[in-house]
Amino acid sequence: MATGMLHSHYLFVVLFTLIYLVKTILLLSDKDELLEKFKKKTRILEMIVSFGFLATGIYLMVKLPVIPMLLIIKIALVFLSIPLAVIGYKKKNKVLATFSFFLIIVAFGMGEKTKSTKAGAKIATVNGKEIFNDKCILCHGDNGKLSLNGAKDLSVTPLNHAGIMEMISNGKNSMAAYKDVLTPEQIDAVASYIESDLKGK
Ligand code: HEC
């Protein structure tokens, strides 16, 4: 369900961006008549696309246990670009229109970046907290108490350091094995972070 939603969201975002790309090009090349025609022709489509874009976006967002900072910035950019675009196209202000299009593209690029930091991607940091926030927070929550996808509450884990490392390396049930994603040093660091900052808190 969530993946289907994600695909629809991408489709709406791409359509939305394409409509804006055509509009921006027409405005910049002073094709006022064509722009008016295009706006009229795509009015309904644009309404459907914008609605789909927001509805799927909101649906996906409420499913997330934590909302990453990058996503907040992305949403802020999208919401900032909307009034700028409305004013820009109404007043035929090229600077505003181009700037709002630029904001949409930046937000789009950020979406791509969030994707690449997903579960299986290798990371460079050896800071336990950073590793935890990147890889584990989705199911365990920032304080370790969240139990998404059947995750165990880390604040009451009976496991010792070796047990925690073994759990992270090899996984269990819906928790993936991290031995190919994290280095032994990173697994050690995140295990220490759980023991010092989450366990018994
Ligand atoms: C996809 C969700 C998910 C992610 C992401 C995830 N876990 Fe888990 N975790 C689980 C589940 C589910 C369990 C319970 C497994 C079982 O015992 O059936 C678990 C259990 C654990 C346990 C054992 C707790 C206990 O008391 O038995 C530790 C430790 C742990 N996870 C650490 C981590 C660390 C560190 C990360 C990041 C590197 C991580 N987890 C990422 C789902 C997840």
The CA–CA distances, whole Å, from 162 to 1, 131, 159, 193 equal 37, 18, 8, 13
Q: What pLDDT digit, counting tens, does each position of 4-55 carry?
A: 777 888 889 899 989 989 999 999 999 989 999 998 999 999 999 989 988 9
| Chain centre distance of CA 97 | 25
Q: How far is the CA of 117 from the centre of ligand 1 (A)?
A: 18
Probe ligand 1: pick from 135, 138, 140, max atoms within 8 Å of CB? 140
Return the bridge partners of 175, or none.
Answer: 172
What is the pLDDT at residue 130?
94
- Measured in degrees and rounded to the nearest 5, phi and psi for residue 47 equal -65, -45
pLDDT in tens, 96-126: 989 998 888 888 777 655 544 455 678 889 9
Q: Check: CB of residue 119 under 8 Å from CB of residue 137.
A: no
Q: Is the pTM of this model over 0.85?
A: no
The two three-digit tokens of residue 161, written as one number: 């350091």
CA-based torsion, 96, 97, 101, 107: positive or negative: positive
- Encoding tokens for residue 14? 């791409």
CA R_g for the chain: 22
The pocket around ligand 1, CB under 6 angstroms, is made up of 135-136, 138-140, 149-152, 154, 157-159, 164, 167-168, 172-175, 178, 190, 194
* pLDDT more than 90, % of the chain: 39
Candidate of 63, 134, 152 to mutate for ligand 1, largest count of ligand atoms within 8 Å of Cβ: 152
Distance of CA 58 from the midpoint of ligand 1 (Å): 27
The residue nearest atom 9 of ligand 1, judged by CA position, is 151
> For residue 153, what are its two tokens?
């509450």
The burial of 186, by beta-carbon neighbours within 10 Å (0-12 exposed, 13-18 middle, 19 or more buried), is given as: buried
